[in-house]
Amino acid sequence: MVMDQEQEMIQAAFEDLLESLRPGTTEENKNLIRKAFDLANEAHQGVRRKSGEPYILHPIAVAKIAATEIGLGTTSVVAALLHDVVEDTDYTVEDIANLFGAKIASIVDGLTKISEVMEANTTQQAETFRKVLLTLADDVRVILIKIADRLHNMRTLDSMPEHKQVKIASETLYIYAPLAHRMGLHAIKTELEDLSLKYENPDEYRELERKIHAYRDENSNLYQQFIAPIRERLTENGYHYDITARTKSVYSVWAKMQRRHISFEEIYDLLAVRIVFDPKDNQPEKWQCWNIYSLVTDMYSPKPERIRDWVSVPKANGYEALHLTVMGPGGKWIEVQIRSRRMDEIAEKGLAAHWKYKGDSDSNSELDKWLASIKEVLEQPGMDALEFLDEFKMNLFAKEIRVFTPKGEMRTLPKGATVLDFAYDIHTEIGNHCIGGKVNHKLVPMSCQLRSGDQVEVLTSDKQKPQSDWLDFIVTAKAKNNINTVFRKERKEQVKLGSMMFEKILESMKLAVTPEAVSKAQLHLNLPSKEDMFVNLAKGFLTEDEVRKALKKKSENKFVKYWKLQFFKGDKEKVVKVKEETGKEEVSDFIIASCCCPIPGDDVVGFKMEGDKITVHKRKCPEAIRLMSSHGDKIVPVKWVSHRIMSFLAVIQLNGIDSMGVVSDITRIISQENNVSMRAVHFETKDGIFEGTIHLYVHNTADLNNLMMKISSLKSVENVTRVENMEG
């Protein structure tokens, strides 16, 4: 009785498949499909899926996805029905070729090879990816049917054990969702991403799904209010159209939250409206898209930076549409997508629809170029999987890579991330103790850059601790912050120890512990700050005798500063020294140009205009550019060479919201900088906005930039800029 019911269920599923075939499918082709079904049904007889249902229902479902959701024809439907026969039963590829012809046998063979790769427990996802793409060289329908197969497996993943669910979901997100995107299957790509998230992060998925549904319910009236005038205008202009309203997919919301580190409430473009129109005769579709754009923006103000024109230049996967974001009722941003009926079918069904509509003029589309380039590269001998992946990775996340832990957990990192970045992404302590890693089971240094598909194992040692040169090759904020935190903590302890050692030296010399004593020692030891002096003392880089000698030296005028420039003229090299007193320059050999006030660190150029004096300008100074263009023979190459303590005039301008104590906060920050002195300060306030100009003496551009960054971090300060040119 149960068997009869199952046979009825199987027969009903197959009849449903026949009804969903392309319009115009011939009786001959339907007979071929029936023949494939009979063979598959007999071959899978008595076999059940994990869910307990008859196995044959799976290939029928895959065939239906291929026919209805991708839009494939008879050959693909037959291959989909037979796709597991060779792998799971006694039938061979030769048997399929004899019964259904070489083309269908070739596709079934390709599908079988992919299945073998995916089930081989390989840890190198890059190699898997390459083998999947290799089948493009035979027939792209292999990929499309495999995507249909994966979609049905994801839809029925509930019956699998949890560890299998996570593995399949991760693999789907890494390989199949981007592949569906590249093939132009937007609807399938979105569903694969959502299903992957559902099994990889079930709690987050459920919570986001609930919030999105609640948001949609709350804003249903807003949709109707927004759409009503658009309907009216489109109808007035003679358009036949459909308008549908939707919210972002769960995965796209989740991904945006992860990428930008924002909450659900901070995502402003959750609402989207899609207009699909039937093109009018004798009017280009592109023109009609822009005409509808004009009608919409007559009613709602657009956000200029959010216009996406894929009508003029379609995406590489063939996608065409015009996207804009407008300000809707109630101050809500709403995305509007404008497509013709043809564009909509290509967007949803991708490759199959692309070929259906393709004419001779479209023979060089981006998608065709991509397919051709894959086949070309596949012919190159010796290309390994990682090179292949790097060359053709699916560009769903163009600036991100996805790598795997030894247990198969996927991690998303920025492009250029290293083994050390990965270690810190796993855990701070793993990063702090990292000594290297294994990428795809090969030993590599911690500076090794990762590529999508790499499987990474971190090697650690209890004796390891963060090093300063690590900052030279890491790229993630998390790694940098953790390393700097360790350094700050160590430096704080060293400053404390060095300060105690310095006080003991003063006591042994019977000198008072005063700020003047600290400044005197720092000046004569030629160190940029008192903290640096204390750290060098604590680390043993500075001896107690050197500190005593510095404290015994006679102090010169504290305003006297020394700095050097090096000039090159012909074969001779000349080093000159300049002495400057605050507020008054006494120079010999060269003059610092007052129009741009260059300081050490600036890119400079010299001009010998009169006598032996050389005027030094910033290279980008307008006056320097004018001089270079008109007096090229007067140019003297010049660069900063060395310095003891330097004092250069620099001017900064700033503005912001006038608030109690803002000026004192700014001057306090400047006074705390040992390498910066104020010469003049001027502030004005009008209508609650302050503007200020500060003249400073600084050592170099690094000190100035550091100071500007600290000032700009104040809550009331809006902008801080350096005045590049002092005169007009």
Annotated catalytic sites, by residue?
87-88
Instruction: Report the alpha-carbon distance of residue 697 to residue 651 in Å, rounded.
Output: 9
Parallel, antiparallel, or unpaired: how do β-strands 456-460 and 434-439 relate? antiparallel
Instruction: Report the alpha-carbon distance of residue 431 to residue 282 in Å, rounded.
Output: 64
Decide: 321 and 337 in contact? Cβ < 8 Å. yes
Q: For residue 181, what are its two tokens?
A: 């995107």
Written in H, E and C, the secondary structure of 279-333 is CCCCCCHHHHHHHHHHHHHHHCCECHHHCEECCCCCCCCCCCCEEEEEECHHHCE
Half-sphere exposure of 377 (CA within 13 A, CB side): 20
SS3 257: helix
The helix (H) or strand (E) run that includes residue 42 is helix 27-43
Residue 538: partners with Cβ closer than 8 Å, 6 or more residues away: 494, 495, 497, 498, 501
CA neighbor of 322 nearest in space, from 350, 297, 357: 297
Question: How many C-beta atoms surround the C-beta of residue 40 within 10 A?
Answer: 26
Would you list the DSSP string of 60-82?
HHHHHIIIIIS---HHHHHHHHT
Decide: 709 and 703 in contact? Cβ < 8 Å. no
Residue 84: partners with Cβ closer than 8 Å, 6 or more residues away: 40, 44, 55, 58, 59, 115
Query: What does DSSP assign to residue 401?
Result: E
Phi/psi of residue 693, nearest 5 degrees: -130, 130
Parallel, antiparallel, or unpaired: how do β-strands 333-340 and 271-278 relate? parallel
Q: What share of the chain is helix, strand, coil (3-state, %, to 5)?
A: 50, 20, 30
Instruction: Report the alpha-carbon distance of residue 499 to residue 460 in Å, rounded.
Output: 34
Q: What is the CA radius of gyration of the chain?
A: 35
Phi/psi of residue 485, nearest 5 degrees: -60, -45
SS3 677: strand
CA neighbor of 95 nearest in space, from 145, 149, 35, 143: 35
Sign of CA dihedral 604, 608, 609, 611: positive
Parallel, antiparallel, or unpaired: how do β-strands 442-444 and 434-439 relate? antiparallel
Instruction: Report the alpha-carbon distance of residue 470 to residue 457 in Å, rounded.
Output: 18
Would you list the DSSP string of 332-365?
-EEEEEEEEHHHHHHHHHTHHHHHHH--GGGTT-
Instruction: Report the alpha-carbon distance of residue 125 to residue 239 in Å, rounded.
Output: 48
